[in-house]
Each structure stands twice: as C-alpha cells, then as structure tokens.
Amino acid sequence: MEKLKKKIGSFSFWNWVIASIIFRLILIYFPKNLNLSSRPEVSTPLTSFRRLAEGYWLKQSSMSSYAGSMYHGSPLLLSLLGPLTVKRIEGQPNHLLYSLVSVIADVVSAMLIRATGQNLRLAYLRGLESLDLVKQIDVSEFLFSGDIAALIYLCNPFTIVACVGLSTSPIENMAVILCLYGACSRLIPLAAFGWVIATHLSLYPAILIIPVIFLLGCGPDSPPRKLFLQRHQQKEVLNQSKLPPGFSWGPIIHFAFWAFLWSVYVLVLCGISLKQFGGLWEMFKSTYGFILTVEDLSPNIGVLWYFFAEVFEFFRNFFLIVFHVNILFMILPLAIRLRHRPCYLAFVYVAICSMLKSYPSVGDSALYLGLLGWFVNELADMQFSLFLFCGYVGVSLLSPVMHNLWIWRGTGNANFYFTTAMVYACLQIVLVVEGVSAVLNHDRKLRILITGKPQDAKS
C-alpha cells in the first residue's frame, strides 16, 4: 500500500515536472516573449538579458564589456551565454537557445532540490529515530519534502517568469542550489564550486559559507544536540552510536582548500577574458562595486532604489553602510540559534539577502520559496501562512498595475509603486520572522516530547 502510494506520488511528480516544462516552452513561443525580459520585476541591472546582449556586443566590437554602465555581470557568463544572445534559428523565436538554457537550469535546480530534500528528510527521520520519537510523531504523515520543494520551485510563477523573461537568475539560483546540494551530500568539491560561482555571480551568497561549514561539520538538519544528550541522560544509557557526530574540522579544511582552488580558477579565467581591457580590478568595480553602491536607481521590487533616489546626497554613504550591515548583523544571532539546522539557516540567509539586496528580482524570491518546501514538516504550524500566501498573490498582481499606472500611463506617481514594494518587503519580513519562530517552536515541541512538560513551571 505504502509502495503504491509512493509510486502514485512519484508518477504525479513527473507529470507535474513535464507540465511545467511544457508550459515554459509554450510561453517561450509567444511573440516577443510577452515583453517579460524588460519587466522591472524580472530584469534588474544585474540579471537583465538586454544588458547581457549589450555586453556581448561591446565585447564583440573589441571593447571592454564593462565600458559604459550597461553590463554588470560576470565575464564568464558573457563568454558562455553571450553567443546565445545573437544566435538565431530560422522560423524559431529569437532567443530560443538562451531560453532553453534557462529551462534546463530550472529543471536541474529542481532535481537538485529534490535530491537535497530527500536527503534532509532521511536525516530528519534518523534524528527522530535516535530520539525514539517515532511513535509519538506519526511518520507516515510526513510529506516528501524533496518532491514538494522541487514542484514549488518548478511551478512557482516567479520562477516561470524569471525563466521566460530571459534573466540570468535561473543560473545564479542553480549555483546556490548546487552549493547546498554538494554540502548536504558531502560532495565537497561540488559544494566549493557552487559557493564560488554563486558568490562570483551575485556576491550575496558569500554568507552561505556559514551554513555550508555547519553542514560539512555536523551534517544536515537534525534536532538540537542538547536533546540527544538529555534523552540519553534520561535513559541513562549513553549510546555513542546513536548520538549525532560532533563538529569535525576535516571536511571544512577540505572545503577551504577546494574553495580556494575554484576561486583562483575563476579569477584566472576572468583575468584571461579581461586581459586586454581593465583587468580584474575593473571587473570588481563594475560588479561588486555596482552592487554595493546602488548606482542604478531604476525601479525594482525592492525598496532601496526609491530610498536612494530620495535620500540626500550627504547621507548616502551612511545609509549604504547601514543597509548592508543589516544583512551582516543578523548572521551571527541566526547562526547561534539555528546551528543545528544548517539548511534552514541557509534558507533564512537566502531569504534575507533577497529581501535586502540592492537589486532584487522575482528570481531571488523564487529561490527561497523553493527552498521553503524542504521544511514543510517543520513549518507545518507556522502562523500567518494564509495571510502570507494572499499577500504574495496580491502584491504580485498589484505591483505590475501600479508600475503601469506610474510609468506607462502617467496617472499614478512613484509612491504607488513604492507602496507595493514596501508591502512586499513587509511580507518577506513576516515570512522570515514567522519561519524562524516556527522552527524554534518545533524544536521546543520535540524537547517537550522528550522531557515532558516542565513540571516546575506549575509552582
């Protein structure tokens, strides 16, 4: 019976995957790609397809692709994807090959998410088993979080829009997922590669090094180590084999070595492709420098563009520091509280980055919403989930309307659009805060199940 259920589940999973791919292909064959590639929600200055094409054009006419302030991406991406921006097949849509690459990147990401999710689920079950909680919690009700996460990632309208809108975020997301997958399945060179590429492409995934270290050091998500000790103290049988392994430095040194190797490799490749122009310094200035200084003030779904358009020049540097430090400030407290759940920590970091980054796009939201699927079991009793769902739907419907009113019709003003961006930021804040509190509550619930109700509280 169980097997049959599983079979049906996996069958419908593949059905959904194929359906989402077909849906993407249908959208690609629409005329002019529905103009998605120039939507502010999809293409930020960093991920825009048109800017990539411009960078490639400049490179082809023997100029530095960073000449002018059009292209701010990686030179490697330009060498790999650039030729696809100009290649045309007779009778086919203009950027078919490029779109196919995005579709493939999406499918690969989904598969990696699925594998990682299964890995996480097994680890979670193992944790419950060693805590002897299997009887108390009905394991059969456990959802296949890997399948769910992969389907969320594939069928999310945000992912579809980012993929069909020809932005480079599917590839950036794939690098992040590759890094997490490698760390979960202890493929250290792969994890290091994913981390280096993700950092190279969009800087913010650099902070994922902390979850990756936890993942490599003590394995994937499990209930807190303290619980195991308490459990064994209660039973007074200290079974070492059932305890999760402690923190080991070996894989981390291994990871550091590989990360160093890959980053040298990437920098050498970049150096070669930029040799006759400004060199690496120019690349850092117009990629990382551009991200950190928020030079482009074109509207996007974040709040920083309007803030820096309005703020007085005198305070600009101060607020640049404040907003970027806001990301860094939260790293340590989160790492302390969630160190036993490195994958969840990675999800929270990704969500925070996509909320506070300089040029956010729906592609970033697609990534963390996809990763959210890994934790369906832990987040089962999260508060406000309906409110959040409705909020996401509402914002993604209202935001294009407000943008249209402001930019195209001229009947609204910038505040209309900014309000939706503000609401979106608040929704993401609620999601992160409630998510973190739900996971902490989940751990608390496990502890209560082990130790029983704290009896002293009644006094």
Query: CB 5: neighbour CB atoms within 10 A?
Result: 10
When the beta carbons of 385 and 441 are compared against other proteins, the nearer one is 441
Place of tokens 């919690």: 137
Min dist CB 87 to other proteins, Å, is 13
In sign, the C-alpha dihedral spanning 391, 108, 339, 124 is positive
> Do 295 and 358 touch, CB atoms closer than 8 A?
no
Q: Name which of 164 and 425 has its Cβ closer to other proteins.
A: 425
Q: Residue 45 CB, nearest distance to other proteins (Å)?
A: 10
| Residue 144, token pair as written in the block | 């296949």
CB of 160 to other proteins, least distance (A): 22
Nearest approach, Cβ of residue 238 and other proteins (Å): 26
| Integer Cα distance of 257 and 267 in angstroms | 15
Is the CB of 213 or the CB of 432 nearer to other proteins? 432
Name the residue nearer to other proteins (CB basis): 183 or 431: 431
What are 350's two structure tokens? 């990704």
Q: In this structure, which amino acid lies at residue 279?
A: G
CB neighbours (10 Å) of residue 228?
A: 19
Q: Which residues contact 75 (CB under 8 A, 6 or more apart)?
A: 65, 269, 270, 273, 274, 283
**With the C-alpha atoms ordered 338, 343, 347, 352, is the resulting torsion angle positive or negative?**
positive
Q: Which residue lies nearer to other proteins by CB, 66 or 228?
A: 66
CB of 444 to other proteins, least distance (A): 6
Evaluate whether 85 touches 49 at the Cβ level (below 8 Å). Answer: yes
Side-chain-facing half-sphere of 450: CA atoms under 13 Å = 25
Which CB atom, from 305 or from 347, has the smaller least distance to other proteins?
A: 305
Nearest to 299 by CA among 30, 41, 15: 41
Q: Please list, residue by residue across 260-269, b when 16 or more beta carbons sit within 10 angstroms of its beta carbon and e when fewer do.
A: eebbeebeee
Closer CB to other proteins, 235 or 444, in the complex: 444
Residue 373 and residue 145 in contact, taking contact as beta carbons nearer than 8 Å: yes
Closest separation in Å from C-beta 216 to other proteins:
24
Q: Least CB distance from residue 156 to other proteins, whole Å? A: 23
Specify the residue, 134 or 440, whose C-beta has the smaller distance to other proteins. 440
Q: How far is residue 186's CA from residue 177's CA, in Å, rounded to a whole number?
A: 14
Residue 133, classified by CB atoms within 10 Å of its CB into exposed (0-12), middle (13-18) or buried (19+), is middle
Residue that has been written with the tokens 């994937």 in this structure: 220
Q: How far is the CB of 334 from other proteins (least distance, A)?
A: 7
Cβ 449 to other proteins shortest distance, Å: 14
Whose Cβ is closer to other proteins: residue 178's or residue 431's? 431
CB closer to other proteins, 185 vs 404: 404
Question: Which residues of the shown chain bind other proteins in the complex (CB under 8 A)?
Answer: 38, 40, 50, 53-54, 56-58, 61, 63, 67-70, 295-299, 303, 305-313, 322-323, 326, 329-330, 333-334, 337, 355, 406-408, 410, 413-415, 418, 422, 425-426, 429, 432-433, 436-437, 440-441, 444, 453-454, 456-457, 459
Hey, what long-range contacts does 55-60 have (CB within 8 A, 24 or more apart)?
A: 55/82, 56/82, 56/83, 56/85, 56/86, 57/86
The CB-of-331 to other proteins minimum distance in angstroms stands at: 12
